[in-house]
Amino acid sequence: MTDMRQRTTNVTAYGDLTSPEVPGALDGATLVWPVGGLEQHGPHLPLSVDFDIPDALARQVVADVGGLLLPGQPFSARSLPQSGGGLHFPGTVHIGGGTFVDYLTHCLRALARLEPARLVIINGHYENEGLLFEAIDGCEPATTFPHTEIVAFSWWSLVEDEWLGKHVPEFPGWHAEHAGLTETSLMMYLRPEVVRAARPTHATPPPPGVYRHPVDVDVMSNQGVLSSTTGAGAELGEKLFWHVLDGITRTLSAGPAHPAPA
Ligand SMILES: [Zn+2]
């Protein structure tokens, strides 16, 4: 079922609208916002992984629902040692959590004024998730977004256990799937031209929900890779991409959990 599906990358961008076009284009529209990061992903993957994956998913969602693509949010919430290697490796550009919540809140309030029918937010950076949800909830969406359904998620949240059991039998937890099998495979499918030949693997991923100081970077990771990359390939990345897309389609077609008041 996942074979031979064609990705769409060229979609209608919100930024290409003119001001007079906005009210008509937004009437009944779905806005899709990729929220990414710029973070070290070992010696084989580019810094933009956490942006590239939600951006590709967002483009496909926009194409599938006839929506509009918002410019992606490019920077990371602070990378933490046990879920992203932290700041022990060069390249990560991050925004502190309090400022990130403020920044997202301002973005959300501005988006609310557009009154789209639906706002879909796709997160690609592990440490963003709680802050993103706090920003949305903190806006008091019942008041701020009275006419807009909001669906926000990290892409990995839509990967089903059955899929993982079949394709990632040694699954270390999503905190440790950092530059590991799933991200490497997705990047080999989405942007093979930027994936380097090195394939470091790390046999002892850090446990979830544990922070340690002092941290031994060489015990925690292998060159910034937190888990196994063994078996990574474009074919697995393609399967995973369309599995997540199917999950997004199901999530969106399920409709609001609680209908908005009339
Ligand atoms: Zn990542």
Distance (angstroms) between ligand 1 centre and the Cα of 202 equals 15
Distances (CA, A) of 217 to 74, 80, 82, 204: 26, 12, 10, 12
Q: In this prediction, what percent of the chain has a pLDDT beyond 70?
A: 96
pLDDT attached to residue 255: 76
Q: Burial letters for 219-255: b for 16+ Cβ neighbours within 10 Å, e otherwise?
A: ebbbbbbbbbbeebebebbbbbbbbbbbbbeeebeee
Pairing of strands 76-77, 94-95: parallel
64-86 pLDDT, tens digit each: 999 999 999 999 999 999 999 99
| Topology given in CATH for the domain delimited by 25-253 | Rossmann fold (3.40.50)
pLDDT attached to residue 3: 55
Pairing of strands 94-95, 118-123: unpaired
Question: Using an 8 Å Cβ cutoff, are 176 and 83 in contact?
Answer: yes
Angle between helix 129-138 and 97-112 (nearest 10): 50
- Asked if the model's pLDDT at residue 31 lies above 90, the reply is yes
What are the catalytic residues?
Answer: 39, 41, 50, 125, 127, 178, 183
Would you list the domain boundaries of the chain?
A: 25-253
- Asked if the model's pLDDT at residue 252 lies above 80, the reply is yes
Distance (angstroms) between ligand 1 centre and the Cα of 244 equals 16
Report the phi/psi class of residue 221: left, alpha or beta, with left for phi > 0 and alpha for psi in -120 to 50.
beta
Distance (angstroms) between ligand 1 centre and the Cα of 89 equals 14
